[in-house]
Amino acid sequence: MRYVKWTLIALIVLIVGSFVHYTLPQHDIVRVVGTNTERTIIPGNRSMFWSSGEATRDVQFIQTVKANGQTMEYRNEDTGWGWPPYFKFDTSSLYTEASDAESDKATPEWYSVTHYGWRNEVLSIFPNAIAIEPVAGPDAKVVPWVNIIILAVLAIVMLLIWRMWVQFRERTIDPLVEDAGEAWDAVDDKADALKGGIKGWFARLRK
């Protein structure tokens, strides 16, 4: 039973952690090498990783290269009033900024691309770019203040929920369990007494 409990806890932590990691903003230091618009077919089982439910549509992409030579591609889609709540309506402006930020290896210009989501080549899913800002170089560090604040608030909320659960258990569940245990002990005592009485009756009967 203990293994089932910890497996369930690990599964919940994995699901919540994946959801938080996918949703919270991340920052990549990259060099923009190109932008383009492609006619894209989105399978129904992957529509959750895209901002629109349309199966086939034109999607804007931003192509970049990291300092270590690894490539990274971002989609550029509005989130509107939906989830995640980035309220992004400036897809066209961001596309123009990314196009203007293109540079080559000889004269690289480095940018911080803020995005959410994952890049998975097997599933053909792309992170969604939210903003692009110039930085001093490939070693620039971006402090994720938004993530720090959100995670701190989540930690406080989880702590409050845990404390409420502990108090509820101490005030409601534990007394019920104790009462049930006492009632069971009383029944057990009565059963023992009845058993002893029957044995005594048979003993007197034999005499």
Express each pLDDT in 139-185 by its tens digit.
999 999 999 999 999 999 989 998 888 888 778 877 776 766 665 65
Pairing of strands 26-41, 71-76: unpaired
Closest CA to 35 of 80, 88, 79, 97: 97
User: Over 80: is that where the pLDDT of 14 sits?
Assistant: yes
Q: What is the pLDDT, as a whole number, of residue 124?
A: 87
Enter the pTM of the model: 0.77
Average pLDDT of the residues in 13-24:
92
